[in-house]
Amino acid sequence: MGCSGSKEAVDETNHADIKTNVAAPGGANVASERTTTHSGYHSDVASGAKHAFTEQLVTNNIHKIQEVYDLTHSTTLGRGACGSVSTCMHKATSMMYAMKTVSIEGMAAHSMAELRQEIAVQKMLDHPNIVKVFETFEDTANRELHIIMEMCTGGALVSRMKSHRHGYGEKAAATLMEKSLSATMYCHKHGVVHRDIKLDNFIYENEDEMAELKLIDFGFASFVAPGKESMWDQIGTPSYMAPELWSDRAKEYDSSVDMWALGVVCYMLLSGKRPFHHQDRKEKARMICHDPLRFPSPDWDRISDTAKDFCSTISP
């Protein structure tokens, strides 16, 4: 959240062959030639989706953050190119939250608008498998934007995959996919296409093995309306990008790109490997666009035909 610039996400997933208890503050193989539509999925953007972000824009809190949250014992949870994430305590309730701090020093107007749009997207979504954003504070003196979110301490799904290098069992993978699908379909129902679904963008609420899974990072999200959901930006994380996103020229696509990405997630959860992987970007693109989906031995010998069919259907 809060990065401007390049519209291609970094593919940090490395399986080569291998951002909190919530309460608002204050209370079978496929054909070898891939097409640009996914036969197993049709757009599910609901008629009840909003038509403009203007109805959902986040209003900055007029208070200084120090007036509402105690930052004296704040602990850093992580740092990245887009800012830092630390803990904070709501003074009135003593509840702990995550605070993402993004520098807006020198940020171009369009980048600031994109940041506000991203926050607006996440603030309007209310689902058990999506990290909740509650409020924002703009520090004009230090040129920083503070984003208050539910705090999740269990780490990313991609990190837990390191202890499941050959994939999860089908039962565990099915549970994770149910949560991932639920979050994604909820977004689509509300007119939000995530466009960067990947293992890295699902985190756990806490360190418990059965902790709730949460979708994060709406930096590439697009807000669309029923019948008007055409998108053209060629963005995403390479290993999870659908064929239509690899065209030499910008090509029209819709919310089905999220379902393709979920198919990649499912494949990796079951096998520990990416379905199409190559260090060379052009070769990876060729594989995604033209190669059939394969289930090679020995990784897939233990996987049922039903699970394989699911992968083929969701990401044909």
Residue 35 lies in a domain: no
Indicate if 173 and 200 belong to the same structural domain: yes
Tens-digit pLDDT profile for residues 106-130: 999 988 888 888 888 888 899 999 9
Q: How far apart are CA 166 and CA 224, in angstroms?
A: 37
Indicate if 176 and 310 belong to the same structural domain: yes
Kindly name the residue from 196, 217, 254, 258 that is annotated as catalytic. 196
From 123, 149, 175, the end of a domain falls on 149
Indicate if 105 and 185 belong to the same structural domain: no
Residue 19 lies in a domain: no
Q: Residue 309: which CATH number? A: 1.10.510.10
Number of domains within the chain? 2
Residue 3 lies in a domain: no
From 118, 149, 180, the end of a domain falls on 149
Indicate if 118 and 171 belong to the same structural domain: no
Please give, one letter per residue, the 3-state secondary structure of the chain: CCCCCCCECCCCCCCCCCCCCCCCCCCCCCCCCCCCCCCCCCCCCCCCCCCCHHHCCCCCCCCCHHHHEECCCCCEEEEECCEEEEEEEECCCCCEEEEEEEECCCCCHHHHHHHHHHHHHHHHCCCCCECCEEEEEEECCCCEEEEEECCCCCCEHHHHHHHCCCCCCHHHHHHHHHHHHHHHHHHHHCCEECCCCCHHHEEECCCCCCCCEEECCCCCCEECECCECCECCCCECHHHCCHHHHCCCCCCECCHHHHHHHHHHHHHHHHCCCCCCCCCHHHHHHHHHHCCCCCCCCCCCCCCHHHHHHHHHHCC
Residue 2 lies in a domain: no
Q: Is the pLDDT higher at 40 or at 245? A: 245
Look at 49-58, 63-72, 85-94, 253-262 and tell me which has the smallest mean pLDDT.
49-58
**196 flagged as catalytic:** yes
Indicate if 187 and 307 belong to the same structural domain: yes
Domain hosting residue 117, numbered range:
54-149
For all residues of the chain together, what is the average pLDDT? Answer: 84
Q: What's the whole-number mean pLDDT along residues 281-304?
A: 95
Indicate if 195 and 136 belong to the same structural domain: no
Indicate whether 149 pLDDT > 80. Answer: yes
Q: Residue 71: which CATH number? A: 3.30.200.20
Residue 141 lies in a domain: yes
Indicate if 244 and 301 belong to the same structural domain: yes
Indicate whether 274 pLDDT > 60. Answer: yes
Residue 220 lies in a domain: yes
Indicate if 204 and 258 belong to the same structural domain: yes
pLDDT score recorded for residue 95: 96
Indicate if 207 and 295 belong to the same structural domain: yes
From 92, 118, 149, the end of a domain falls on 149
Indicate whether 28 pLDDT > 80. Answer: no
Indicate if 72 and 169 belong to the same structural domain: no
CB-based contacts of 87, cutoff 8 Å, min separation 6: 73, 74, 75, 77, 96, 97, 98, 99, 151
Tens-digit pLDDT profile for residues 61-98: 667 899 999 999 999 988 876 789 999 999 999 999 99
Q: How far apart are CA 23 and CA 293, in angstroms?
A: 43
Residue 125 lies in a domain: yes
Q: Is the pLDDT higher at 54 or at 224? A: 224
Residue 243 lies in a domain: yes
Look at 5-19, 144-158, 274-288 and tell me which has the smallest mean pLDDT.
5-19
From the number of C-beta atoms within 10 Å of its C-beta (0-12, 13-18, 19+), residue 103 rates as middle
Indicate if 256 and 128 belong to the same structural domain: no
Indicate if 187 and 272 belong to the same structural domain: yes
Q: How far apart are CA 276 and CA 294, in angstroms?
A: 9
Q: What is the share, in percent, of the chain residues with pLDDT greater than 70?
A: 80
